[in-house]
A and B are shown apart, each in its own frame.
Chain A
Amino acid sequence: MASTATVATPHHVAAHKAPTGIWSWITTVDHKRIGILYGVTSFLFFLVGGLEAILVRIQLAVPNNDFISAELYNQLFTMHALTMIFLALMPLTAAFFNYLVPLQIGARDVAFPRLNALSYWIFLFGGIFFNIGFLLPLFGGESQAPNAGWFAYAPITTRTYTPGLNMDFYVLGLQIVGLSSIIASLNFIITIINLRAPGMRLMRMPIFTWMVLVTNVLIVTAMAVFTIAVTELMFDRMFGTNFFNPAKGGDPMMWQHLFWIFGHPEVYILILPIMGMVSEVLPTFSRKPLFGYNVMVFSGILIGWLGWGVWSHHMFATGMGPIADTFFALSTMLIAIPTGIKIFNWLGTMWGGAIRFTTAMNFSIAFIAMFTLGGISGVMHSVAPADLQQTDTYFVVAHLHYVFFGGTVLGLWSGMYYWYPKVFGRMLDERLGHVHFWLTLIGMNVTFFPMHFLGLFGMPRRIFTYADNLGFNEMNMLATVGSLMISLGTLVFAFNLFTAWKRGRVAGPNPWGASTLEWSIPSPPPEYNFRELPVVRSRMPLWEGDPTKEAAIPHGRHEEDTQTVSFAGKTAEMPFPDDESKMSAHDLGIHLPPPSYWPVVLAAGITLTFGGLIFRPLDGALHNLWYVSILGVVLTAVSIYSWAFEPGH
């Protein structure tokens, strides 16, 4: 059949009639639109979290600084972590899950499209709710954002020690966004298990989709534990229970155990999808398959499973006794093995290849290097006695930022540069991309590498200032300078993201010459994704059987108006992108789930139900506003009922 390479003419977006306007976005159940909504919203929250970090860094640039008060500082470092983890990084990975998983498995949408939309709206409303504490000065009050650290150890989080609304925003906000994650993860697990195209056995799935599956199993289980812990804290604060009140027999250790049983799988939730992304990017730009696909799948599953058995390595200083310390030290060392295996398999992928250093590839390579450093400091933490000097100091801050920033963020940026052309039909500017890359890579090392030394030289974490004579001055100033470099890089990126959408070089279906199914359809894809659902015979449908695999990669400096090249694989019977691909779903007789406003209404009901409780601890007239929570319950019930009986046509 069609095996010749053809040149796609420079069309703009496919000419099918996608609905437009705000209402179409509010009622959309299309996984691609929901992915874009997640992506834009979480990127904006990333900027918010970054601003919080910059304020922290300015305060710490010099000793005994009074740029911000201790109280505000404590809110800023707490919200920096909460925003980055729950409102930026997790939803950014969700954006990729949403957009790509149906495309990679050859499906038209996820299993439950309205539920998918619901997850997004709950996330948006919950994210806003979380930040309301900062906005209270606008109403004449004090800023009362959560302030006891993102891991919120009891008993400082009980009402006795945090009488203000700070930790009420914490418990209620987390309940809301937690619900969003759990709902979405169920959706993805079912989608991946049930909606794969014919012939796509599990071991033929793209590695990214595999990691999405493992991650979502972790999400649904870990978030369940966290929900319990947060509910108990909520009941302590609002309804007079004593789970964590030592005066009445509550146990602070129980909070730590519950939290970290969630918290450790959480960090694997944040890294496994990224590992999947990087495992897609590296083969494409090395022109070789992923080295050791089976091992990569199994090591991912193993990391997910072993991740449940290491949680108390966060608690080595709490006096659990030598047997518990030994168990967790050893289990933590054990988990380093599948992680190391992945690193070597990525090197094996690149070895012997023909590497093209696009921005996406650069970020993936940098990810390997930075995540290796983060993993090494992680193994250092696993040595329990040595950890007694490292824990609760800037050494941990260094470690966690190497894995979260050097790992998750760099990997996400790699994914953005790689898949942006698919989503928007335009390439991101590669020159700006290289500026972004170098500012970010150098900036992150200037910021976080000195922190290893700061910690070992005696600087604890979560301190709003430090004394002049402890030797911390120069390294803190350096870290602040680095953070400004990161900001500059991020702003360059934001500019690129928001302008390339309209003005970037047009991308065809497969600008990178990649091998997986999403690259066989137009960019951006039509509403129905595939004109005909493909039959899959190989792990790399677009590569197997075609010896040339040549794809001119648009390169700003050398080629103007480069056209993209795409080709059909011999072993995958799929429609070639052509005029028929640009017809609307209706014309082709494809039934798609209709838009619906019940997700946004139900999300509002859920947010009101939990959010309304924020008024309970207040005195006076404001206290009665908590009845809005009852209103939320009613709205929730009505929405669920209406949703259930909503017609599907």
Chain B
Amino acid sequence: MKSRVNLFGPRWSALPPEPDVPGRSLASRLGLRSAPLLAAVLAGCSEEKHLQTYPQTIYAPRSEFADKLLDLQNLITYLGVAVGLLVFAIMAYIMVKFRYRPGMPEPEQIHGNTKLELAWTLIPALILAVIAVPTVRTIFETQQKAPDNAVVVDVIGWQWWWEFKYPVDGGRDTVITANEIHVPVGTPVHLRLTAGDVLHSFWVPQMGGKRDLINGKTNHIVFTPNEPGIYLGQCAEYCGDSHALMKMRLIAHDSAGYREWLRNEASPAPEPTDSSIALGKKLVTQGACAGCHIIQGVPTMVGRTGPNLTHFGRRRTLAAGIVENNAENLAAWLRNPPAMKPGAKMPNLNLKDEEIRYMVAYLQSLQ
């Protein structure tokens, strides 16, 4: 069993949950939701271990939305497997019992049987009715209007990164970040999704189902995370060359942690603390970067094409979730973005290694 590479620092799930947080259901904690799958695949594996091996699995739900979807998935898996086994068993019997053997009499020339036709029309219809009822119920339950206390995040999909906008201060202001979406545990989260260029699809499997980002349309997902943690997500609608590399992290905090994050994110970028960072700031904010990126508190950065970099240094990954955000990877990105991400809109700026070193220092200082 492979151990998961720890890209993200201390595991959030190691922190104790807030007292009033509903948390994961008992069924989920006992691994009952994953049980059907795991029983079928491996005996005696826990949900935690499954999640470690498959970090994007749907079988580790961490929100009530994901719980409901998994319940339906398990129901149809049970029924589907049962029907499949039945049909296969009948076929196996037929192939053995009714083989041609030399000298056997001609088979009875039956043309049909009305009773059987009725039976195998009505019984599947009944099975489908059993599936239909919870299906329709879940459709309506999961598409209710978001409650008033929901945390709203506007999500805009771009080739090949995610823009997240948090209306704050009663809507008078907006905090903008990219590629890492932070949400509080225990509070409903309402995502309003739209596309900036082509179609994309927002998918964090452990939070629930996906929803497409479509030009000219606002789609909605409402879910309540029930356990702090870092959750992986990926674009799920073909969007061009680097569709495979358009990833994201969803980070669920306890409510105090979330407030702290939001407050920090709303603040302007910190000033440089030493000369190399200051030099890096000059290179970044007065160079080509200013044409595409914004850093709050730096008036020369006027670009709106690329991700907001105000607190870039705090993000765990870069280039939309594809590599860890460290000095080495950041330098490689600055050296040649299209090499890391085919078709990237950020061109190769032919920066010198010296320049890159200072720019890395500055960008990493943006905590």
B54, B140, B238, B343: the one within 8 Å of A153 (CB) = B238
CB-contacts of B168-224 with A (<8 A): 195, 197-199, 201, 203, 205, 208-212, 214-217, 219-220
How far is B217's CA from A317's CA once the two chains are assembled, in angstroms?
13
Q: Does the CB pair A341–B143 fall under 8 Å?
A: no
Q: Does A251 contact B (CB under 8 A)?
A: yes
Q: Does the CB pair B219–A318 fall under 8 Å?
A: yes
Q: Does the CB pair B109–A388 fall under 8 Å?
A: no
Q: Does the CB pair A376–B80 fall under 8 Å?
A: yes
Minimum distance in angstroms from A393 CB to a CB of chain B: 7
Q: Does the CB pair B56–A459 fall under 8 Å?
A: yes
Q: Does A432 contact B (CB under 8 A)?
A: no
Q: Does A74 contact B (CB under 8 A)?
A: yes
Q: Does the CB pair B131–A333 fall under 8 Å?
A: yes
Q: Does B226 contact A (CB under 8 A)?
A: no
How far is B54's CA from A592's CA once the two chains are assembled, in angstroms?
65
Minimum distance in angstroms from A562 CB to a CB of chain B: 15
B132, B201, B220, B322: the one within 8 Å of A329 (CB) = B132
Q: Does A149 contact B (CB under 8 A)?
A: yes
Chain B residues closer than 8 Å to A469, beta-carbon distance: 2, 4-5, 55
Q: Does A571 contact B (CB under 8 A)?
A: no
Q: Does B352 contact A (CB under 8 A)?
A: no
Give the residue name and chain of the A residue nearest to B125 (CB): A337
Q: Does B300 contact A (CB under 8 A)?
A: no
How far is B343's CA from A71's CA once the two chains are assembled, in angstroms?
9
Contact mask A49-69 → B, CB, 8 Å, 1/0?
000000000000000000001
Minimum distance in angstroms from B35 CB to a CB of chain A: 14
Contact mask A538-551 → B, CB, 8 Å, 1/0?
00000000010100
How far is B111's CA from A384's CA once the two chains are assembled, in angstroms?
38
How far is B138's CA from A389's CA once the two chains are assembled, in angstroms?
14
Q: Does the CB pair A458–B55 fall under 8 Å?
A: yes
CB-contacts of A303-332 with B (<8 A): 317-319, 321-322, 325-326, 329-330
Give the residue name and chain of the A residue nearest to B135 (CB): A383
A317, A336, A340, A456: the one within 8 Å of B120 (CB) = A340
Chain A residues closer than 8 Å to B117, beta-carbon distance: 292, 295, 341, 345
How far is B84's CA from A347's CA once the two chains are assembled, in angstroms?
14
Minimum distance in angstroms from B42 CB to a CB of chain A: 12
Q: Tell whether A156 pairs with B128 under 8 Å between CB atoms, given A252-B215, A321-B143, A463-B244.
A: no
Chain A residues closer than 8 Å to B239, beta-carbon distance: 156
Candidate in A154, A294, A336, A379 with the most chain B CB atoms within 10 angstroms: A379
Q: Does the CB pair A392–B201 fall under 8 Å?
A: yes
CB-contacts of B24-56 with A (<8 A): 37, 41, 53-56
Q: Tell whether A389 pairs with B210 under 8 Å between CB atoms, given A286-B107, A347-B94.
A: yes
Q: Does the CB pair A458–B232 fall under 8 Å?
A: yes
Q: Tell whether A388 pairs with B53 under 8 Å between CB atoms, given A355-B100, A469-B4.
A: no
Q: Does the CB pair B76–A355 fall under 8 Å?
A: no
Give the residue name and chain of the B residue nearest to A463 (CB): B244
CB-contacts of A373-390 with B (<8 A): 373, 376-377, 379-380, 382-390
A69, A294, A319, A382: the one within 8 Å of B220 (CB) = A319
How far is B142's CA from A326's CA once the two chains are assembled, in angstroms?
12
Q: Does B147 contact A (CB under 8 A)?
A: no
Candidate in A287, A459, A469 with the most chain B CB atoms within 10 angstroms: A469
Minimum distance in angstroms from A487 CB to a CB of chain B: 25
Q: Does B112 contact A (CB under 8 A)?
A: yes
How far is B215's CA from A246's CA once the two chains are assembled, in angstroms?
6
B83, B136, B142, B235: the one within 8 Å of A376 (CB) = B83
Minimum distance in angstroms from B3 CB to a CB of chain A: 9
Q: Does the CB pair B55–A470 fall under 8 Å?
A: yes
Q: Tell whether A457 pairs with B54 under 8 Å between CB atoms, given A149-B238, A384-B135.
A: yes
B98, B139, B232, B322: the one within 8 Å of A322 (CB) = B139
Q: Does the CB pair B111–A291 fall under 8 Å?
A: yes
Give the residue name and chain of the A residue nearest to B80 (CB): A376
How far is B54's CA from A456's CA once the two chains are assembled, in angstroms?
10
Q: Does the CB pair B91–A365 fall under 8 Å?
A: yes
- Count residues of chain B with CB under 8 A from any CB of chain A: 90
A350, A356, A463: the one within 8 Å of B94 (CB) = A350
- Count residues of chain A with CB under 8 A from any CB of chain B: 93
Chain A residues closer than 8 Å to B241, beta-carbon distance: 70-71, 74
Give the residue name and chain of the A residue nearest to B197 (CB): A161
CB-contacts of B233-251 with A (<8 A): 234-244
Q: Does B59 contact A (CB under 8 A)?
A: yes
Chain B residues closer than 8 Å to A382, beta-carbon distance: 135
B131, B140, B199: the one within 8 Å of A379 (CB) = B131
Contact mask B115-143 → A, CB, 8 Å, 1/0?
01100110011001001100110111011
Q: Does A478 contact B (CB under 8 A)?
A: no
Minimum distance in angstroms from A630 CB to a CB of chain B: 34
Contact mask B55-83 → A, CB, 8 Å, 1/0?
11111000000001110110011001001
Give the residue name and chain of the A residue nearest to B204 (CB): A458
Q: Does the CB pair A385–B199 fall under 8 Å?
A: no
Q: Does B260 contact A (CB under 8 A)?
A: no
Q: Does B106 contact A (CB under 8 A)?
A: yes
Q: Does A240 contact B (CB under 8 A)?
A: no
A-B CB pair tally, cutoff 8 Å: 273
Q: Does B87 contact A (CB under 8 A)?
A: yes
Q: Does B110 contact A (CB under 8 A)?
A: yes
B108, B138, B217, B236: the one within 8 Å of A319 (CB) = B217
Minimum distance in angstroms from B50 CB to a CB of chain A: 9
Q: Does the CB pair A385–B139 fall under 8 Å?
A: yes
Give the residue name and chain of the A residue nearest to B72 (CB): A386
Candidate in B131, B140, B322 with the most chain A CB atoms within 10 angstroms: B131
Q: Does the CB pair A347–B91 fall under 8 Å?
A: yes
Chain A residues closer than 8 Å to B59, beta-carbon distance: 456-457
Q: Does the CB pair B80–A380 fall under 8 Å?
A: yes
Q: Tell whether A383 pairs with B76 under 8 Å between CB atoms, given A153-B237, A329-B132.
A: yes
Q: Does the CB pair A458–B58 fall under 8 Å?
A: yes
CB-contacts of A391-447 with B (<8 A): 391-393
Q: Does A253 contact B (CB under 8 A)?
A: yes
A252, A295, A388: the one within 8 Å of B211 (CB) = A388
Q: Does the CB pair A392–B108 fall under 8 Å?
A: no
A70, A333, A354: the one within 8 Å of B128 (CB) = A333
How far is B69's CA from A418's CA once the two chains are assembled, in angstroms?
45
Q: Does the CB pair A380–B77 fall under 8 Å?
A: yes
How far is B195's CA from A566's CA once the two chains are assembled, in angstroms?
67
Q: Does the CB pair B140–A372 fall under 8 Å?
A: no
Chain A residues closer than 8 Å to B347, beta-carbon distance: none
Contact mask A338-368 → B, CB, 8 Å, 1/0?
0011011101101111111100000001001
Q: Does B273 contact A (CB under 8 A)?
A: no
Chain A residues closer than 8 Å to B70, beta-carbon distance: 389
How far is B101's CA from A368's CA once the two chains are assembled, in angstroms?
23
Q: Does A204 contact B (CB under 8 A)?
A: no
Minimum distance in angstroms from B55 CB to a CB of chain A: 6
Q: Does A465 contact B (CB under 8 A)?
A: yes
Q: Does A632 contact B (CB under 8 A)?
A: no
Give the residue name and chain of the A residue nearest to B90 (CB): A347
Q: Does B342 contact A (CB under 8 A)?
A: yes
Chain A residues closer than 8 Å to B236, beta-carbon distance: 317, 391-393, 460-461
> Which B residues lie at the A interface, using CB under 8 A?
2, 4-5, 37, 41, 53-59, 68-70, 72-73, 76-77, 80, 83-84, 87-88, 90-91, 94-95, 98-101, 104, 106-113, 116-117, 120-121, 124-125, 128, 131-132, 135-136, 138-140, 142-143, 195, 197-199, 201, 203, 205, 208-212, 214-217, 219-220, 232, 234-244, 322, 342-343
Question: Which 5 A/B pairs are nearest by Cβ-Cβ distance?
Answer: A388-B209, A458-B56, A463-B244, A246-B215, A319-B219
Q: Can you offer 22 A-B residue contacts whose CB atoms are under 8 A?
A: A155-B199, A156-B238, A161-B198, A252-B199, A288-B110, A289-B111, A317-B211, A317-B236, A333-B131, A333-B132, A343-B87, A347-B94, A351-B98, A368-B87, A372-B84, A376-B80, A385-B142, A386-B135, A389-B70, A392-B210, A469-B5, A470-B232
